[in-house]
């Protein structure tokens, strides 16, 4: 079995979008999973990667999701591998989890720090960046951390706010895993763009690729990303339901945590 969807390595074509659009309309399972993961992903954008909670709670309208498990790269669960290239620009980082980590009806969320988008907060590093004559031509404040590294300034975590995480989400529905990943198929439906969830197929070791990170590295930036991953990367397993504390605070006294796997309605 191939591990990666054939569209992972290139932007989807017009035919790919048309097929995805048809599948979204005709397959209620794909439609339900897509809408659910899209709604969860919109909430993940608001998280701060350097302040992730031990228990992740996500509220989407009347639906609530609570994590029952959190894994870190420094522990067990997330498999991080690198695919090197003679040109570091083409270096690839793969993040995988065991297929069995996401049970029926559960949602898996991978949250990663990333060097792109980090915001400088230290006075010294801001002054250093502003002193670079070609700074504006290098992309300005959107790539400040890679620029700082490339200009030879040692990375100091205290000088940076990592802000929003890079993320991927997945759900098991009727035995199959579906994910919205780094390069989803986007198709316009009813006047809005929808990133269609796609099937994840495990490799021979029973691992699934949640995300492939390939943001045009320099050698120094690869080293910083390794450090950030060790400190902040996390994978959560979510089920639909309220937290134990919320249930205790409800009228009627203390109740046991009654989390239930969400099911796709067809």
pLDDT recorded at residue 261? 46
Nearest one of 2, 33, 22 to 180, comparing CA atoms: 33
Q: How many CA atoms lie within 13 A of 254 on its CB side?
A: 0
What are the tens digits of pLDDT across the range 100-129? 999 999 999 999 998 887 888 889 988 888
| Cα 217 off chain centre by | 19
This prediction has a pTM of 0.81
Residue 186: pLDDT over 80: no
What are the tens digits of pLDDT across the range 199-252? 888 999 999 999 988 777 888 999 999 999 999 999 999 999 865 555 555 555
- Top-confidence range, 64-68, 76-80, 151-155, 244-248: 64-68
Tokens in use for 159?
A: 């000088």
Q: What percent of the chain has pLDDT over 70?
A: 76
pLDDT recorded at residue 257? 44
pLDDT recorded at residue 241? 83
**How confident is the model over 167-176, as a mean pLDDT?**
93
pLDDT recorded at residue 262? 46
> What pairs with residue 167 in β-bridges?
111
pLDDT recorded at residue 97? 93
pLDDT recorded at residue 254? 46
Confidence of residue 142 (pLDDT cuts 50, 70, 90): low
pLDDT recorded at residue 45? 87
Residue 71: pLDDT over 50: yes
What are the tens digits of pLDDT across the range 1-58? 333 343 344 566 677 677 777 777 777 888 899 889 999 998 998 899 888 999 999 9
- Which residue pairs, CB below 8 angstroms and at least 24 apart, start in 145-153? 145/115, 145/116, 145/118, 145/120, 145/221, 145/224, 146/115, 146/116, 146/218, 146/221, 148/120, 149/115, 149/218, 149/220, 149/221, 149/224, 150/218, 150/220, 150/221, 153/125, 153/128
Average pLDDT value over all residues in the chain: 80
Whole-number Å distance between alpha carbons of 35 and 184: 13
């Amino acid at each position: 079995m191939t591990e990666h969807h054939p569209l992972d390595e290139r932007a989807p074509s017009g035919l790919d979008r048309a097929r995805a659009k048809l599948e979204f309309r005709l397959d209620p399972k794909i439609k339900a999973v897509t809408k659910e993961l899209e709604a969860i992903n919109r909430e993940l954008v608001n998280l701060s990667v350097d302040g992730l909670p031990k228990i992740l709670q996500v509220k989407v309208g009347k639906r609530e999701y609570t994590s029952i498990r959190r894994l870190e790269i420094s522990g067990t669960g997330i498999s991080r591998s690198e695919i090197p290239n003679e040109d570091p620009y083409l270096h690839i980082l793969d993040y995988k989890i065991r297929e069995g980590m996401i049970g029926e009806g559960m949602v898996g969320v991978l949250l990663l720090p990333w060097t792109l988008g980090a915001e400088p907060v230290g006075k010294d590093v801001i002054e250093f960046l502003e002193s670079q004559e070609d700074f504006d031509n290098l992309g300005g404040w959107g790539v400040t951390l890679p620029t700082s590294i490339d200009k030879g300034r040692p990375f100091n975590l205290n000088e940076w706010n990592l802000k929003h995480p890079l993320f991927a989400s997945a759900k098991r529905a009727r035995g199959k895993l579906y994910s919205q990943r780094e390069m989803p198929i986007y198709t316009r439906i009813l006047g809005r763009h929808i990133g269609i969830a796609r099937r994840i197929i495990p490799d021979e070791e029973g691992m699934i690729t949640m995300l492939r990170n390939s943001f045009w590295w320099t050698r120094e930036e690869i080293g910083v990303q390794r450090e950030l991953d060790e400190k902040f990367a996390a994978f959560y397993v979510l089920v639909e339901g309220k937290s134990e504390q919320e249930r205790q605070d409800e009228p009627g006294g203390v109740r046991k945590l009654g989390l239930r796997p969400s099911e796709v309605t067809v």
